[in-house]
Chain A
Amino acid sequence: MTTRKRHKRSRHSVSWLGVLALEVLVYAALVTLYLVLVLRALRPVLLSTAEHHRAVYALLSVGLMLGQGFLLEFLTTLFVGLFVRARREEGLASPALEKTLKR
């Protein structure tokens, strides 16, 4: 492999890792916030339903797990999309960032 090709590949992988790191950071922040909110706001409700209303508790459990999946993924895509658009307007969007926006 030539030096130029190797250099091109390493530049590409850095930008791919950068996009992944950005997505992971945004997601980590959101999922932590979600956990804190659920622990603070829903803890008494979950405790009470787990003891007295199992059917409601079962539905709440599934809803909380599914909800975070869809909601947080949507928010992550939204925030990363906004970041990529801002970089594009500044003329700084890399091919990896453009690919993220297309998804």
Chain B
Amino acid sequence: MDFPISGAHLSPLWLIAVGLVVGVLGGFFGVGGSFLAGPALYTLGLPMNLVVGTDLAHIMGKSVVAARKHRALGNVDLKLGLLMVGGTIAGVEAGAQVVQVLKRHNIADLVLGCTFTVILIALSAFMTWESISALLQRKLAQSGQIKIGSTVKDRIHFTGLIKKVRAWKLPPYVSFPASGISKVSLWAVLGVGLVGGFFSGLLGGGAGYIRMPSLVYVLGVPTHVAIGTDLFEVIISAGYGTVSHALKGNVDILIALVMHTGAAVGAQIGAAMTEHFHGPKLRLAFVPLPVLGAALLLYELFQKGLVKL
């Protein structure tokens, strides 16, 4: 099929299949899926600038579907999502500025690739340890060997950071009843948005792989709500990115729409599947995603000869 906006000739079935896989992952884990869709589009022969812009447009559309589905399931904290927007937008801009500085020094690919790989592997290792510990604790609690205070189903093992953040004496304070947070500094919420946005601007995509765990481990948001709220945030950051890239001629909306045919259906399936998984199991299932992203990145770095053994 010909796509005259980009001048590309791509198989629509392949685009729909990629969209479907990314859609299921996005709906289930609350991520944009750029770390999979990006390399897939690049492999098909689309230039990198069009890969980034078109992927953002497709991510935005898919996130709308998944976020609406999660909202119907009661998994979106709209107040938290809206308050994070300020931090997210500022973060996206800051990340994009850092990319410009790195580009001027001709070290963008190497620095960004290595940073991203280290972050993704560290994140996976941490989440594996935390979710397995939480599952073990849950098992012990269910057999009556230990007593745990919080909800047994969505147990978080790593709560030190949550307690510290909630104890911050930095007004103004906000509460998020939908996430079970009675009082937290607004600056902590903006900070989580800023970090997520920064990685979105720095490395492209929606940066759900950073924001979703941050919501769980920094603010103490239940996993299901973190996924739904993160998708809401991805709509904002990917929407902002789509407009910015479309103005620069980096978006082929026809490719995005074809991909979206599969992604929208996949997002429906993924979001519905979250109803049948609980906190630690959901977080443990998330672990292979950053590892896969890191592997793809390492492969690209080796291919380009930026990293040598």
Given A27-B268, A50-B5, A69-B68, do A62 and B261 touch, yes or no (CB 8 Å)?
no
Task: Specify which chain B residues have a CB less than 8 angstroms from the CB of A68 in the assembled complex.
Answer: 61, 64, 257, 260, 264
In contact, A73 and B254 (Cβ under 8 angstroms): no
Q: Which A75-97 residues have C-beta < 8 A from chain B?
A: none
In contact, B60 and A54 (Cβ under 8 angstroms): no
In contact, B61 and A66 (Cβ under 8 angstroms): yes
Bin the interface of chain B by size: 20 to 34
Number of A residues, CB within 8 Å of B = 32
Over the window 1-45 of chain A, the binary record of Cβ atoms lying under 8 Å from chain B Cβ atoms (1 yes, 0 no) is: 000000000000000100010011001100110010011000100
In contact, A61 and B265 (Cβ under 8 angstroms): no
Cα–Cα distance between A26 and B256 once the two chains are bound (Å): 21
Cα–Cα distance between A66 and B265 once the two chains are bound (Å): 15
Over the window 263-289 of chain B, the binary record of Cβ atoms lying under 8 Å from chain A Cβ atoms (1 yes, 0 no) is: 011001100100010000000000000
Closest to B258 in A: A35
Q: Which B184-201 residues have C-beta < 8 A from chain A?
A: none
- Distance in Å from the Cβ of B63 to the closest Cβ of chain A? 8
| Stretch of B77-85, B147-155, B164-172, B239-247 that contacts chain A | B239-247
Over the window 48-60 of chain A, the binary record of Cβ atoms lying under 8 Å from chain B Cβ atoms (1 yes, 0 no) is: 0010001101111
In contact, A65 and B256 (Cβ under 8 angstroms): yes
Q: Which of A38, A55, A73 contacts B65 (CB 8 A)?
A: A73
Over the window 51-81 of chain B, the binary record of Cβ atoms lying under 8 Å from chain A Cβ atoms (1 yes, 0 no) is: 0000001101100110011001100000000
Confirm or deny: B249 has a beta carbon within 8 angstroms of a beta carbon on chain A.
yes
Task: Specify which chain B residues have a CB less than 8 angstroms from the CB of A61 in the assembled complex.
Answer: 57, 242-243, 246, 251, 253, 256
Q: Is the interface of B mostly helix, strand, loop or mixed?
A: helix
Cα–Cα distance between A57 and B276 once the two chains are bound (Å): 40
In contact, B57 and A65 (Cβ under 8 angstroms): yes
- Distance in Å from the Cβ of A35 to the closest Cβ of chain B? 5
- Distance in Å from the Cβ of A20 to the closest Cβ of chain B? 5
Q: Which of B5, B247, B261 contacts A32 (CB 8 A)?
A: B261
- Distance in Å from the Cβ of A1 to the closest Cβ of chain B? 15
- Distance in Å from the Cβ of B89 to the closest Cβ of chain A? 15
In contact, A54 and B256 (Cβ under 8 angstroms): no
In contact, A24 and B60 (Cβ under 8 angstroms): no
Of residues A31, A46, A69, which shows the largest number of chain B Cβ atoms within 10 Å of its Cβ? A69
In contact, A20 and B5 (Cβ under 8 angstroms): no
Task: Specify which chain A residues have a CB less than 8 angstroms from the CB of B248 in the assembled complex.
Answer: 54
Confirm or deny: B160 has a beta carbon within 8 angstroms of a beta carbon on chain A.
no
Closest to A103 in B: B72
In contact, B246 and A58 (Cβ under 8 angstroms): yes
- Distance in Å from the Cβ of B17 to the closest Cβ of chain A? 14
Task: Specify which chain B residues have a CB less than 8 angstroms from the CB of A72 in the assembled complex.
Answer: 65, 264
Given A24-B269, A61-B253, A65-B57, do A54 and B247 touch, yes or no (CB 8 Å)?
yes
Cα–Cα distance between A43 and B61 once the two chains are bound (Å): 18
Task: Specify which chain B residues have a CB less than 8 angstroms from the CB of A38 in the assembled complex.
Answer: 257
Confirm or deny: B4 has a beta carbon within 8 angstroms of a beta carbon on chain A.
yes
Task: Specify which chain B residues have a CB less than 8 angstroms from the CB of A39 in the assembled complex.
Answer: 254, 257
- Distance in Å from the Cβ of B51 to the closest Cβ of chain A? 15
Report, nearest first, the 10 A-B pairs whose CB atoms are least far apart: A69-B64, A58-B246, A65-B61, A61-B253, A103-B72, A58-B243, A73-B68, A50-B5, A31-B264, A28-B265
Q: List 21 A-B contacts (CB under 8 A).
A: A20-B269, A23-B272, A24-B265, A43-B4, A47-B5, A50-B253, A57-B246, A57-B251, A58-B243, A58-B251, A60-B253, A61-B57, A61-B242, A61-B246, A61-B253, A65-B256, A66-B60, A66-B239, A69-B68, A73-B64, A73-B65
